[in-house]
Amino acid sequence: RVSYCSLVPVDRYFFWFFESRNSPATDPIFLWVDGGPGGSGTASAVEYNGPCMVNKEGTATSIHPNSWTNRANGIWLDQPTGVGYSKGGPPETAIGEIVENIYRFVEEFFSRFPKYRGPFYLSGISFAGIQLPEIAHALKQASEPPINLKGIISQNAIINAEAQ
């Protein structure tokens, strides 16, 4: 299967992409962002929902039987700048900046890899519950060509920190 690992010019965001184990050409694609803010998406790729798991000793990997890539193409993103392998200018601190850069990242990803323009889902955990609706709004308003955004998957979401 195909896997990409790269930095993109959007503040040099680092991502890790894995094709679906099922039908990459027709399966949906998701973007995974960790909460925080400032969680490494690539850590989730090997600890939570990615295609493989690292053993407790850190010496070997095994196939993750419940990986999201069993039925979908997946992008794990380190964000904001300075988190994980993402490098660049001064770290973003305002939600608006982070949302804008993730929006630009998504546009750049689909520009580079147009064959994955199938049904697209934004997904994440914790603080991503605040970011994902903002990113979805930006994608629906401004993407050219339009991105086939179908929904948001938010786990253990923070949507209003004061009320929760």
**Percent of the chain having pLDDT more than 90?**
47
pLDDT averaged over every residue in the chain:
87
Structural contact between residues 144 and 108, judged by C-beta atoms closer than 8 angstroms:
no
- How does pLDDT run across 145-160, given as a tens digit for each residue? 789 999 999 988 777 7
* Average pLDDT of the residues in 10-30: 90
* Average pLDDT of the residues in 35-50: 87
Q: What is the pLDDT of residue 2?
A: 55
Query: 63-69: which pairs have CB atoms within 8 A and are 24 or more residues apart?
Result: 67/21, 68/30, 68/32, 69/18, 69/19, 69/20, 69/21
What burial class does residue 39 get, using C-beta atoms within 10 Å of its C-beta: 0-12 exposed, 13-18 middle, 19+ buried?
buried
Q: Is the peptide bond before 37 cis (omega within 30 degrees of 0)?
A: yes
- How does pLDDT run across 51-108, given as a tens digit for each residue? 999 888 989 999 999 999 999 999 999 988 888 888 877 777 788 888 888 998 999 8
**Least trusted range by pLDDT, from 18-22, 79-83, 115-119:** 79-83
pLDDT, greater one: 114 or 164: 114
Report how far residue 46's alpha carbon sits from residue 54's, in angstroms, rounded to the nearest whole number.
6
Q: What is the pLDDT of residue 3?
A: 59
Question: Can you list the domains of the chain with their CATH numbers?
Answer: 3-155 (3.40.50.1820)
Report how far residue 6's alpha carbon sits from residue 14's, in angstroms, rounded to the nearest whole number.
6
Q: What are phi and psi of 125, to 5 degrees?
A: -135, 150
Report how far residue 23's alpha carbon sits from residue 73's, in angstroms, rounded to the nearest whole number.
9
Instruction: Count Cα atoms within 13 angstroms, Cβ side, for 77.
Output: 30
Contacts of 160 (CB under 8 A, 6+ apart): none
Beta pairing class for 73-78 and 120-125: unpaired
The single residue listed with the structure tokens 């184990």 is 21
Report how far residue 32's alpha carbon sits from residue 28's, in angstroms, rounded to the nearest whole number.
13
Q: What is the pLDDT of residue 162?
A: 72
Q: What is the pLDDT of residue 83?
A: 84
Confidence of residue 20 (pLDDT cuts 50, 70, 90): very high
